[in-house]
Structure 1
Amino acid sequence: MTARTVPVATPSENETGETAPGTGWFHAALPLAASVLLVSMVAHFRVPLLADIGRELAMSASSLGLVATVFAIGRLALDLPVGRLADRIDPLKLLAFAAAAMGVSSLGLAFAPSAAWVLWSSLLLGMASATGNTTGMTALSGSAPPARRGSAMALYSGALLGGQALGPAVSGAVASLGTWRTAAFVATGLGLAVGVATAAWRRRTGHVPLRRNTKQGAGDDVAELTPLQRGALYGVCFSVFFTLGAMPQTLVPLLGAIDHGLRTATIGLAIGIGGSARMLGAAISGAVSDRVSRRAALLPALALQAAGVALLAVGGSAAVWLAAIILMSLGSSGNAVAATMLGDRTHGARLGRTLGRYRFWGDIGLVVGPALTAFVYDRAGVGPAVGLVSGVLIMCAVAAAVVVPETYGRGSRAVAGQEMT
């Protein structure tokens, strides 16, 4: 049997297939990155509100874990369909729809009279989130030349994580001035405004859509990843999302409120600091993956995230709690690096479907992580819950280290440099 191959593009090839310095995609990508940031911001308004929602609606820790779980189920339902749509439709059109849907879903949360209503609103928020996230990842990764793909994924991650930093911080501040329902109403207005603004930008005179780099160019061929290798990368996404759902979106806010007596605004600010650390981690990982190798960025990131999770078991002061958030956030950049590695070995015309499957496995982790970790925390406490999450991370990191080859290292750049001359 002969391995399927995909052609390698040179780093000088832009989204039209013409020779360029490798930056032709960047300016067209900025409006899309801004939309990703704002959609992500609205999606994460709910995170610091969990403790207040639980107190008002008499929801236990396990029930609050279900809020993140049904959010992930909503994402899971649309990852694959949106991946197919992202291969065909202008990304700004999909992002405008996602933002408007976020606004409507947030309105449902603001009026929630019961736990069931909160769960339905979270489900719809998750569906809108899948539309925005898969669209943004596909468009930004697919438009960049291979030598800039790590930077493109860093731009996507920076926008996504910037929203995850701003959303909880703004939401917590608004809730401290009013209630958690006030914050949900603000999310409603913001989502609708972003949807209208994105649609207007797309329709403006002179708008040039971000084009997919479907023509990969001439050059040496490289083998596509085997199913086992792709599975190991899907496992990375699963473990990172499992951790994000279980820790920053569920257990971290509860520990802040219960163990450290922190207010909603303070918890939101801490999660926002974590989001800023995720932006820094994404920028560093993007640079390392482009300039050194993909594996040199991936494996240390996963180890760092596992260390942050383990630090929560130490307990102690709120400073240790915050340090754990920062370490987990810095290490979460492994998700973007794994997606970059998939992009290295996937033809541009199939990229949306491939990344849709990648995010699908990640969202399975986002479904399982919060519910399972909250259940273990309710029954056995912090230590076993932290051990569960750390174990998942370590297992998937070892699998990636053993199975996944380097997809764009020094040898690839040397070949690209010869082609450019």
Structure 2
Amino acid sequence: MNATPDNGISKPATGDASGRVELGLRQNLPQFALLVAVNALVGGMLGQERTVVPLLGKEVFGLPGYTAGLTFILVFGLAKAATNYFAGTWMDRWGRKPVLVAGWIVAIPVPLLLIWAPSWGWVIAANLLLGISQGMTWSTTVVMKIDLVGPARRGLAMGLNEAAGYAAVAATALATGYIAQAYGLRPEPFFLGIAFAALGLGLSTLVVKETREHARLEAAHHVARADGRHDHLHSELTNREVFSQTSFREPALSSASQAGLVNNLNDGLAWGLFPIIFAAAGLSVAKIGILAALYPAVWGLGQLVTGALSDRLGRKWMIVAGMLLQAVALAVIAAVTGFWLWAIAAVLLGAGTAMVYPTLLASIGDVAHPAWRARAVGVYRLWRDGGFAVGALLAGVVADTLGVRTAVWVVSGLTALSGLVVAIRMYETHHRPTDIAPEGAVHE
């Protein structure tokens, strides 16, 4: 082995023009950029629902209560959470690209079902498929980017990935709000989804390349932490052991899993109840669309900074600060009324989420061995996206019994509590440069 100044690892491999597999953002920039674009399309599929579907439930299908109206998020969350878990195993068994392509195939009927839905049951079916698709496509783009960049820039990679996805969520939510204001809630807002699904499937099938060899290369050069903390997490773990370590036993992995669940719990609340709160205050559909877009826009764009910042400052305290900022923002939304005050709170909520989202994923990549990292990411995303279902159920029940603003207060308290759990239980997972494999190694 010899060091090279390009900060990459390479070895001979089939499947690319040079015959080499290399780790590093610069070395894999074309594929990395392509995957950023693909994940933006994944986010757009989710964004087509953020403004319009809650209003469909209330204004078109006349659903009788908050709990009933949030059933689409409940089904989406359960489907995505379960698919995340299996997607990790499928990626390790069959490769990343086949799972990505299959996820896009599942996405194709979603906008069509939303356009043609004669009853709320069709909307539920669309969200079942959307959850399965998102679990396969978003999970795969996460793992593929981690594969490509190697250990030194995981935070940056996750920041770029999540920024693309949630910026697209925001842009699509804003666009569908204006389209719905001009043309109605159906069918025009969902034409965007048809275009996203077609383009995503085409790019994933024809242009995206497999990245599993990159993970194998990193595993071959993997260096244990100097403090010995991960010595028990050797490369050969069963699926049950990966689930146990990620969910309960390993302090950093389990702390990240519970924080991810609570983060998406409050996102499920924002998705399902915020448009209803804003509509009850007399805001137009266009203004509701602005507020629905503002939170994920700040969330998405903020990750361009926070992901890379966690590579410099560490993961733990950025996660703690982000969770506490989210709790404050939710409390403000519950306490005030008015477009501009809600807009300020949406910015704060997006900033807090931007601090948390890529950093949690990067912490999973820090701890999990490359040999079972895809499965660990799947388990983490099982818990994280299960938060959609928990949030929909909890927010709906509390809103129906105690009022919609009380539901926001309850979720604010849970978010603050989750941040305290991270502060107490989690250790710092990212150390530079002594505890990671030197990326200058070259294997010929």
Equivalent positions of 1:207-356 (< 5 A) are 208-210=209-211, 211-214=213-216, 215-216=218-219, 217=221, 219-221=223-225, 222-224=228-230, 227-229=249-251, 230-247=253-270, 249-259=271-281, 261-333=282-354, 334-356=356-378
Q: Which residue identity does 1:232 align to in structure 2?
A: S
User: Does residue 154 in structure 1 map to residue 159 in structure 2?
Assistant: yes
What SS class does the counterpart of residue 285 from structure 1 fall into?
A: helix
* Stretch moving more, 16-25 or 82-91: 16-25
Q: Deviations over 1:53-79 (max 9, x none)?
A: 421111132222112111112212311
> 1:140/1:177 Cα in 2 relative to 1: closer, same or farther (>3 Å)?
same
Map Cα deviations across residues 179-212 of structure 1 (whole Å, 9 max, x no partner).
Answer: 222245404421442244314532xxxx754453
Structure 1 residues 213 and 20: alpha-carbon distance in aligned structure 2, compared to 1, 3 A threshold: closer
Deviation string, structure 1 residues 4-37 (Cα, Å, up to 9, x no partner): xxxxxx9934475978775323332111111111
Moved more, 350-359 or 116-125: 116-125
Contact (CA 8 Å) 1:90, 1:209: kept in 2 or not? Answer: yes
CA contact (8 A) 2:222 2:437 kept: no
RMSD: 2.6
- The reply to whether residue 116 of structure 1 matches residue 129 of structure 2 is no
1:202-259: per-residue Cα shift (whole Å, max 9, x none)? 2xxxx75445333342545343376141221110110101010012x11111111112
Q: 1:188 to 1:288 in 2, by over 3 A?
A: closer
Residue identity matched to 1:190: A
Q: Which moved more, 1:89-98 or 1:337-346?
A: 89-98
Q: Is the 8 A contact 1:294 1:337 kept in 2?
A: yes
Runs of 4+ in 1 over 6 A off after TM superposition: 17-21
The verdict on how the C-alpha distance between 1:111 and 1:19 changes in structure 2, with shifts beyond 3 A counting, is: closer
Q: Deviations over 1:56-105 (max 9, x none)?
A: 11113222211211111221231111111223445444334333432312
Q: Is 1:375 matched with 2:397?
A: yes
Q: SS where residue 395 of structure 2 aligns? A: helix
Q: Helix, strand or coil: the match of 1:347? A: coil
Structure 2 counterpart SS, 1:118: helix
- Equivalent pairs counted in the alignment come to 404
Q: Which amino acid aligns with 1:95?
A: L
Partner of 2:242 in structure 1? none
Counterpart residue number, 2:433: 413
What is the Cα deviation at residue 414 of structure 1?
A: 4.8
User: Which residue identity does 2:335 align to in structure 1?
Assistant: V
The answer to whether structure 1 residue 46 and structure 2 residue 67 are counterparts is: no
Shift in alpha-carbon separation, 1:28–1:382, aligned structure 2, 3 A: same
Q: Which residue of 1 aligns with 2:103?
A: 98
Residues 1:234 and 1:21: Cα distance change in structure 2 (over 3 Å): closer
Amino acid aligned to 2:150? P
Aligned residue number for residue 24 of structure 1: 27
Q: Is the deviation greater in 178-187 or in 44-53?
A: 178-187
Question: Which of residues 7, 12, 35 is equivalent to 1:12?
Answer: 7
Deviates more, 1:66-75 or 1:183-192: 183-192
CA gap 1:117/1:168 in 2 versus in 1, 3 angstroms: same
Residues 107 and 184 of structure 1 are in contact (CA less than 8 Å); yes or no, is this contact kept in structure 2?
no
The separation in 2 between residues aligned to 1:353 and 1:191, in whole angstroms, is 27
What is the deviation of 1:113?
1.0
Find 2:138's aligned residue among 130, 133, 136.
Answer: 133
Q: Give, in whole Å, the separation in 1 of the partners of 2:435 and 2:376.
A: 26
Alignment of 1:124-203 (within 5 A): 124-183=129-188, 185-199=190-204, 201-202=206-207
Distance verdict in 2 for CA 1:208–1:70, change over 3 Å: closer
Deviation of residue 316 (structure 1)?
2.4
Alpha carbons of structure 1 residues 161 and 419: separation in structure 2 relative to 1, 3 Å: closer
Percentage of identical aligned residues: 23
Q: CA separation in 2, counterparts of 1:14 and 1:88?
A: 24
Q: Distance in 1 between matches of 2:376 and 2:10?
A: 19
Q: How far apart in 1 are the matches of 2:334 and 2:414? A: 16
- Cα 1:345–1:200, aligned 2, differ >3 Å: closer, same or farther? closer
Q: Which runs of 5+ in 1 are unaligned?
A: 1-9
Q: Which amino acid in structure 1 is aligned with residue 61 of structure 2?
A: L
Instruction: Report what 2:240 is aligned to.
Output: none
Q: 2:32 and 2:296 mapped to 1: Cα distance?
A: 21
Amino acid at match of 1:360: L
Unaligned stretches of 5+ residues in structure 2: 12-19, 234-244
